[in-house]
Structure 1
Amino acid sequence: MSATIIPVRGFTPRIGEGTFVAPNASIIGDVVIGRDCSIWFNTVIRGDVNSIRIADRVNIQDGTVLHTLYQKSTIEIGEDVSIGHNVTLHGCHIRPFALIGMGAVVMDDAVVGEGALVAAGSVVLSRTQIGPNELWGGAPAKFIKMVDPDQARELNIKIARNYLMYSRWYTDPDNATDPQ
């Protein structure tokens, strides 16, 4: 069993070196994924109507859906970002070192700043601007507090590295190690 990779409208997804794509993930159309990422089970990255760009060392966890608006919104995800299980990202921009909690929704033209955290189950409405190192939560999501930039960055790098390690368990099972 292998991932579903589908060209659409003349765009074929491009996947960077060292990136793990789970066997039942779907990657479609105008999608570019960087190096050392992990795209987990039942994830759908649907670049059929507009572009999706994912930088290096991003983990997109199980059941997540990425999509855009035709000729209106794109998705851009910076490096070392963690996207939790069952997240919906629709036409938004996620800056480096951010974390999107499980089950969150981030809508069109929203921006999640560098090192920011979106709490699990939150709904970030269209055109919301979340600043660097801010914690937002709720439905609709609201500002909760500032987070220490060094702690947020350290946490998000640790999560991103752990997911890279987990992905290696699938691609190189003879060298599997436990998280530390």
Structure 2
Amino acid sequence: MTCYSLDGLTPVVDPTAYVHPSAVLIGDVIIGAYCYVGPLASLRGDFGRIVLEEGANVQDTCVMHGFPDSDTVVERNGHVGHGAVLHGCRVGADALIGMNAVVMDNAHIAARSFVSAGALVKAGFSCPEQSLVLGSPAQVKRRLSDEEVAWKHAGTREYQVLAQRCMASLQECTPLSMVEADRPRIHDSGLRPKLAGSA
């Protein structure tokens, strides 16, 4: 990872967390146990504090930032999809932020809630626990089922396992010039159940 201290504050990464070498951590960043930070993620603690609590993941090209004296927090087992932007907000425990969603200042996504891909969550927004949040500007659509929350929890567990896999075996390499015969496939852990009605 690319890591910078600023004004005497150095990022903190728990030894059990995985941060991709291309991710950037600046200043007041705290990454808890069993977290995963994906390629090209930018966690800028140059104004406010950035916190990932235990088991959270922030995927490729995500941005976390805030205004001075703010906290941008992903609580325990929070799940932030590719390309999302979190600015001075709080993502509750076991919540999911969809790909390319934007969550603005002082918004609070409650525990076990989902924000849809591409949503724009305006500053100051809040929702009840276990909400499905859709649109631009985002609104609460309905309450999530326990089955949907369990599906998300299993997906987050896959990222916790991925953090362990990356620490154990990810290494920079030179690409092959052709596909080898009988090339094996990478399989998930089998932890994630299919959601009813999905392919």
Unaligned runs of 5+ in 2: 171-185, 191-199
Distance 1:88 1:52 in 2: 13
1:103-142 aligned within 5 A:
103-142=100-139
- In structure 2, the residue corresponding to 1:172 is in which secondary structure? helix
Distance 1:177 1:155 in 2: 18
With the length of structure 1 as denominator, give the TM-score of the two structures: 0.92
How many angstroms does 1:177 deviate by?
6.5
Work out which of the two has the higher radius of gyration on C-alpha atoms and give 1 or 2: 2
Deviations 1:127-163 (A, max 9, x none): 0002200001111111111112x32432232111101
Structure 1 runs of 4+ off > 4 angstroms? none
With the length of structure 2 as denominator, give the TM-score of the two structures: 0.84
- In structure 1, the residue corresponding to 2:94 is in which secondary structure? coil
Q: Is the 8 A contact 2:34 2:163 kept in 1?
A: no
Distance 2:111 2:166 in 1: 30
1:2-17 aligned within 5 A:
3-17=1-15
Unaligned runs of 5+ in 1: none
Question: Is 2:167 the counterpart of 1:171?
Answer: yes
Deviations 1:84-125 (A, max 9, x none): 000000000111000000000000000000000000000000
Count residues with an aligned counterpart.
175
Question: Is 2:100 the counterpart of 1:90?
Answer: no
1:141-180 aligned within 5 A:
141-148=138-145, 150-173=146-169, 178-180=188-190
Distance 1:93 1:145 in 2: 20
Give the fraction of aligned pairs with identical amino acids, expressed as a percent: 30
Task: Tell me which of 27, 31, 34 is aligned to 1:36.
Answer: 34
Q: Could you tell me which residue of structure 2 aligns to residue 22 of structure 1? A: 20
Q: CA RMSD in A?
A: 1.5
Distance 2:122 2:13 in 1: 29
